[in-house]
Structure 1
Amino acid sequence: MQILLLTIAGLAFLMIVLEDVFHINKAKTTLFLGTLAWLLLFLFPQHGLNSQDIQEQLNENILEIASLWLFLMAAMTFVAFLNHQGLIETMIYKVLPQRLGERKLMFLVAGFAFFFSSLSDNITATLISIALVLSLKLDARKTRRFAVLVVFAVNSGGVALITGDVTTLMIFMQEKVAIDDLLWLSLPSLVSVMLLAGMLSMPLKGEVVIHPTPRRDDKVGMVIGLIFLLTILSTIVLNVIAGVPPLLTFLFGLSIMFLVGRLCYKDDERENLLDYIRVIEFDTLLFFLGILLLVGMLKEIGVLNSLVQIYDVLPTTGANFVMGLLSSLVDNVPLTAALLKSNIAMDTASWLTLTYAVGVGGSLLVVGSAAGIVAMSKVKEITFISFMRYSLYILIAYSVGFAGSYLVGHTLH
């Protein structure tokens, strides 16, 4: 049965890779195979488990999935409204000059995505950064390069803050690293992002001419834009001072958006803010659901725990590097949880390199991080195969960042 379940996971991965060949939406195949795997777990329990044990495991996984699913829904609804209002484009046009070299623009986008993801969660940062890229109306090849950079920059930006990445928070909560140690990680992270920007910008030689598009003269849109900003800031502050889950704060902000829309548009039958929930990419949400069901299944059958045995084969630094590579195939949260539960003996410097590895390594494949999946849903030019064409560049940048995290850790300790 375990071999069959592993085969199902492998088939799901293969169907994602070959989506352009079979022309079957990846959301459909991953949801089918993810639910099939859990059905088999119930029908053929392993290791002496009964249906109640498996139900508890499923409930735990569904809770994690629902939290991410609802958070993504709330963030995407905000961004859908702001895009419709043209507020994101307007903000960009006020900051950028009317003519700008494509290489310089690449570095500006890298910096924006990096620092915005330090202040916000990865999903929101990706949505806003991708909206920025799409508003520039570049050709398909250039748009793809910018989107690849956004994924890497977003994953790198949050790795040094406990509010920016879940795995960083998990390692911090286990008292493996201190906040001042983590802050130093931002240096190699930023260097690696700028290195990738430099590599991706090499063939770019043109100029971008920004043509501002008229936006709706709607003060309500400005108010909701402010609500969105306050929601992001409140998510960080409330999580730090009171442990409030980000999902709860974002849903609260979304409810305020709906109430403001109802009060301000009550005489306008054309505008109903609830309609924006219907225009978000539900195939992205279903893809998330299928992927996380499969990852949860792998966790329950002990596959993730067996990956920890890499530390018995490789030196600690080498094993940490490989864990980053594996995080592009397996969700980094259960992977990090398995490492923390295994009580591997590592010094602070090694925990810092692991923090960087599991936070950034998922950028190597488009399905390896939430940022990648969101980018793939928003940018039609991004597929599994087209993203892989840049994996060598990403691997070089990741390796430089990993080496930098090693130097930072051993300099501090």
Structure 2
Amino acid sequence: MILAMILIFVLGYVFIALEHKVRIDKAAIALVMCGLLWTVYSLLAHDAHIDSEIIEHLGDTSEILFFLIGAMTIVDLIDSHGGFNVITDHITTRDKRKLLWLLSLITFFMSAALDNMTTTIIMVMLLRRLITDNRERWIFASVIVIAANSGGAWSPIGDVTTIMLWMRGNVTAWALVRNLFLPCLVSVVIPTALALRYIGKGSVMPAPQNAGSGLPPHVGPRLQKFMLVTGVLSLLFVPVFKTLTGLPPYMGMMVSLGIMWIGTEIIYDTRRCMEDSIQNRVSKVLKHIDMPTILFFLGILMAVAALESAGILATFAQTLDTRVHEAFTIAGVTGLLSSVVDNVPLVAACMGMYPIADAATIAASADPAYMQSFVQDGIFWHLLTFCAGVGGSLLIIGSAAGVVAMGLEKINFGWYLKHISLLALAGYAAGMLVIYLEHLIFL
């Protein structure tokens, strides 16, 4: 049974990694893989409690899915009202090197509040208005990918993996920000500084057109600013809501989405702009949610859950404990793997392999100092968050942000590997070094 489940999982992973070659959506592969794994486990394990196990895992997975649906809807609502143009229209510098630094830092902070994929889309579309040379634009787009991945790693709502770890209680919001902000910033600053050698001195061409063109007549500057501020505050409200109420983050996201929904309905009904506002209402935006991505997360998380129920992850964790037995090495290797395969299942697998250690577990362990790494907000969970997020920048296919940039700008895999991967690796290693030094200082 174990061999069959591992084989199914590995084959599924291969097809997911080669999605652009086999031309089959990774969501479809993940769903089939999930179904096959649970089928094999049901038929061969003869577990009388399998129904309750599925329901328990589905409950945990649904929390993440509902959170993502709410976050994606709010981001799309801001975008459909041109809210992000408020940011892009204020970028006035034309110096190439200053522009690279500016876009890198804007992406870094923006992706902490939004998701890295949406941030990358926004910033790459901005590049098309500023940079005319395709190869030069590849440099800018690549730095944006690095900044988006690093920016999402230090925020509890910045990336799917941080959302997973935060919602499951492996990390807390303030501790995550406090411990990872500096390492993540270093992982952006170093690649950006090194990338300056690829771009010449001088100025870029002026923007050929207004970013706000194409918006419906009822969407003016005031409404754009209102939607941007309201949307960002709604996303930032979620960790505050969890802290104040103790309820799961997805509940706060549902509250935020509901408030924005009510607010936009009131605005449009007051203005009586019914026909041209239909496309901007939440009911319409919801129809444009990226459901294949949601279904991919459902399939991959439930597939990992099947491996966990079968005891495969626990066995693998025991092997790592015996052979490696070092939190930095385990997290570092996980980060390198995240440049090849999706970081969501990798983090899900680590969460399944290493439960949060409590006082009793530490006391009963033969190595209490090692087990201390796995407590809530332990060094391992912060390392895993950093490595899984930032490690995705090492290859262009290693993250959602990279895949989006690759698709929009037609960035060549080999070109990225030759020119950008070493830059990203330098930032990755430097960030891990900062985490190590922080651990020594504040231990």
TM-score calculated relative to the size of structure 2 = 0.76
Aligned counterpart, 2:26? 26
Deviation at 1:204, TM superposition (A): 3.0
**Alpha-carbon distance between aligned partners in 1 of 2:33 and 2:55, rounded to the nearest angstrom:** 18
**Alpha-carbon distance between aligned partners in 2 of 1:188 and 1:324, rounded to the nearest angstrom:** 14
The answer on whether the counterparts of 2:156 and 2:163 sit within 8 Å (CA) in structure 1 is: yes
Gaps spanning 5+ residues in structure 1: where?
Answer: none
Counterparts in 2 of 1:20 and 1:5: CA distance versus 1, 3 Å? same
- Of residues 128-137 and 203-212 in structure 1, the stretch that sits farther from structure 2 once superposed is 203-212
Answering whether residue 138 of structure 2 is matched by residue 141 of structure 1, we say yes
Alignment of 1:160-309 (within 5 A): 166-167=164-165, 170-171=169-170, 183-205=178-200, 207-208=203-204, 209-210=206-207, 211-215=209-213, 216=215, 217-218=219-220, 219-266=222-269, 267=272, 268-272=274-278, 273=281, 274-308=283-317, 309=319
Deviation at 1:353, TM superposition (A): 4.4
Q: Matched residues, percent identical?
A: 21
Counterparts in 2 of 1:307 and 1:195: CA distance versus 1, 3 Å? farther
**Alpha-carbon distance between aligned partners in 1 of 2:84 and 2:78, rounded to the nearest angstrom:** 6
- Of residues 326-335 and 253-262 in structure 1, the stretch that sits farther from structure 2 once superposed is 326-335
The answer on whether the counterparts of 1:73 and 1:280 sit within 8 Å (CA) in structure 2 is: yes
**Alpha-carbon distance between aligned partners in 1 of 2:356 and 2:255, rounded to the nearest angstrom:** 34
Counterparts in 2 of 1:109 and 1:61: CA distance versus 1, 3 Å? farther
**Alpha-carbon distance between aligned partners in 1 of 2:346 and 2:199, rounded to the nearest angstrom:** 33
Aligned counterpart, 1:131? 122
Aligned counterpart, 1:359? 385
Deviation at 1:359, TM superposition (A): 0.6
Task: Choose the corresponding residue for 1:321, options 325, 328, 332.
Answer: 332
Counterparts in 2 of 1:2 and 1:307: CA distance versus 1, 3 Å? closer
Matched AA of 1:412: F
Which deviations, in whole Å up to 9, do the C-alpha atoms of 1:208-266 show, x marking residues without a partner?
44453235443444433333122123212111222232212222222222223333334
Aligned counterpart, 2:103? 109
Deviation at 1:275, TM superposition (A): 0.7
The answer on whether the counterparts of 1:305 and 1:338 sit within 8 Å (CA) in structure 2 is: yes
The answer on whether the counterparts of 1:143 and 1:381 sit within 8 Å (CA) in structure 2 is: no
Deviation at 1:322, TM superposition (A): 3.1
Alignment of 1:383-398 (within 5 A): 386=413, 389=417, 390-398=420-428
Gaps spanning 5+ residues in structure 2: where?
Answer: 362-366
Corresponding residue SS for 1:331: helix
Counterparts in 2 of 1:212 and 1:66: CA distance versus 1, 3 Å? same
Corresponding residue SS for 2:199: coil
Counterparts in 2 of 1:305 and 1:377: CA distance versus 1, 3 Å? farther
Answering whether residue 89 of structure 2 is matched by residue 89 of structure 1, we say no
Corresponding residue SS for 1:380: helix
Aligned counterpart, 1:380? 407
The answer on whether the counterparts of 2:100 and 2:140 sit within 8 Å (CA) in structure 1 is: no
Aligned counterpart, 2:71? 75
Aligned length: 397
TM-score calculated relative to the size of structure 1 = 0.81
Counterparts in 2 of 1:353 and 1:134: CA distance versus 1, 3 Å? farther
State the superposition RMSD in angstroms. 3.7
